[in-house]
Each structure stands twice: as structure tokens, then as C-alpha cells.
């Protein structure tokens, strides 16, 4: 049934819901999954029609590209041009978890995530249901499961209240543990820059890569006072 919620605390329901979610994603439809930060609206990252449908469902344009979630560190290697030492250090420290990294994407990937300007935002979420789905489907384009401008949901029910039958399967993994969006760090420029502070603080990230929180908050090319 279109738009059904599957309670993943029940083993049989989880198995059924997961099988249907994998099938839906592989056939170009939208699914909602739990992550550690918020609930996500996702589809196969390489299905451009599905990504367009995801953006339309959120009432969002290509000017806000869709992030990509992965189910393992190894998956990243095929998606990026290269990973420098900073990116590698951050991945090892914070994945799976609440850090999204923006890095140059591998050339000639057959996807259209929006106006990415040659970059891709990647994250590996800390949630067993999300990881299982990602390992079955492969890299997924995933954005918060809300209409643009509305409150991002921390439960499957809250996601369904906004998205309804535009989504084929809702996987209910309980309330999102963190309850706020991931922190985004841009590693595509001359120095690391925090685009958004969320689940992780600038201080936590700076400590790992040996820079000050202030420098992470300073936009490249601007003068800090």
C-alpha cells in the first residue's frame, strides 16, 4: 500500500518494510528512512528522474542540491575525485555520524543532484536501518523528509503528515536520536569551512583536524576581525 509506515521495532514488519523500501528505491520511487539526525526522504542517487521527483516533493529547486548518504566508507571512493588527509581524518573520526562533507565529486558520474558545481555532499548515518537500506540500494540521494520551509521531522509519523502518499514506504525506527540536522563542512576550497553547525560543533571538528573553531567559521576569501 502506497505511503504505509512499517514499524521496524517489530522483526517481521521490519523485514517486510525493508524489502519493500529496497524494491521501491531500485524502481525509482521515494522512501523515508530514519537516521541518527532526522528522518530522510531518499531515492537512488543515480536515478535522475527519482531525484527530480524528490526535489518536487519537497517543493525545492536544483539550487539546493541533494546530499548523498552511503552505507560504508569504501563506497565513498567511487564518488569523489580524491580524499585529502583532512577528509580522511574527519571520516574516521565522525562516520558513521552527524557530519556531512562537501568534496569534489568524481568526474563523469551519471547523476544530477542539482546545482552542485562539481561537488557532492556525503554522509554515513549512524542508524542500523539506514545503513541496511543503503547497503542494499547503494548510494542514495537523501534530504530531510519535510516540505521545504517546514519543520524537519524526527519521527516517521511527522514525515508522513507532510509528505503523505508521495512516498512509497516509510521505515519507522523510532524518534531520531539527535533531532537536529548534520553539521556540514565544505572541504572543496582552500581551507575547511563550516556551512552549517548542527549535530557536531565547530569545536569538536576543529579539535580533530587541529584548527580553531573561529577559522572553521571564517568563509574562504573573507577577512576575520
Q: What is the DSSP letter of 77?
A: T
Residue with cell 523485514: 15
Q: What pLDDT shows up at residue 223?
A: 54
Contacts with 88 (C-beta within 8 Å, 6 or more apart), sequence order? none
Q: What is the pLDDT of residue 12?
A: 98
CATH of 2-215, one of 3.40.50.970, 2.60.120.380, 3.90.870.10, 3.40.50.2020: 3.90.870.10
Predicted local confidence at residue 225, as pLDDT: 42
Tell me the domain boundaries of the chain: 2-215
Stretch (H or E) spanning 17: helix 11-26
- Hey, what long-range contacts does 87-93 have (CB within 8 A, 24 or more apart)? 87/187, 89/208, 89/209, 90/185, 90/187, 90/205, 90/208, 90/209, 91/124, 93/208
Summarised one tens digit per residue, pLDDT across range 134-149 is 999 999 999 999 999 9
Contact present, 169 and 25 (Cβ < 8 Å): no
| Residue 131 falls in which region: left (phi positive, over 0), alpha (psi -120 to 50) or beta | alpha
What confidence tens digit (pLDDT) does each residue in 40-94 have? 999 999 999 999 999 999 999 888 899 999 999 999 999 999 899 999 999 999 9
pLDDT at 220: 86
In a 3-state reduction of DSSP, which class is residue 8?
coil
CB atoms within 10 A of CB 115: 10
Q: What is the mean pLDDT of residues 190-204?
A: 96
Amino acid at each position: 500500500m502506497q505511503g504505509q509506515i512499517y514499524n521496524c521495532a517489530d522483526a517481521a514488519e521490519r523485514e517486510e518494510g525493508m524489502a519493500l523500501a529496497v524494491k521501491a528505491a531500485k524502481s525509482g520511487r521515494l522512501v523515508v528512512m530514519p537516521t541518527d539526525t532526522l528522518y530522510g526522504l531518499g531515492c537512488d542517487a543515480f536515478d535522475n528522474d527519482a531525484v527530480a521527483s524528490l526535489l518536487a516533493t519537497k517543493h525545492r529547486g536544483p539550487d539546493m542540491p541533494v546530499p548523498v548518504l552511503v552505507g560504508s566508507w569504501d563506497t565513498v571512493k567511487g564518488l569523489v575525485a580524491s580524499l585529502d588527509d583532512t577528509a580522511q581524518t574527519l571520516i574516521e573520526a565522525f562516520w558513521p555520524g552527524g557530519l556531512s562533507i562537501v568534496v569534489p565529486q568524481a568526474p563523469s558520474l551519471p547523476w544530477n543532484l542539482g546545482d552542485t558545481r562539481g561537488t557532492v555532499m556525503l554522509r554515513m548515518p549512524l542508524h542500523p536501518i539506514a545503513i541496511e537500506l543503503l547497503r542494499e540500494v547503494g548510494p542514495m540521494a537523501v534530504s530531510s523528509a519535510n516540505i521545504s520551509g517546514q519543520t524537519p521531522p524526527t519521527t516517521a509519523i511527522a514525515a508522513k503528515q507532510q509528505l503523505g502518499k508521495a512516498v512509497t514506504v516509510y521505515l519507522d525506527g523510532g524518534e531520531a536520536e539527535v533531532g537536529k540536522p548534520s553539521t556540514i563542512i565544505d572541504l572543496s576550497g582552500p581551507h575547511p569551512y563550516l556551512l552549517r553547525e548542527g549535530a557536531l560543533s565547530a569545536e569538536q571538528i576543529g579539535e580533530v583536524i587541529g584548527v580553531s573553531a573561529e577559522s572553521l567559521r571564517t568563509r574562504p576569501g573573507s577577512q576575520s576581525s
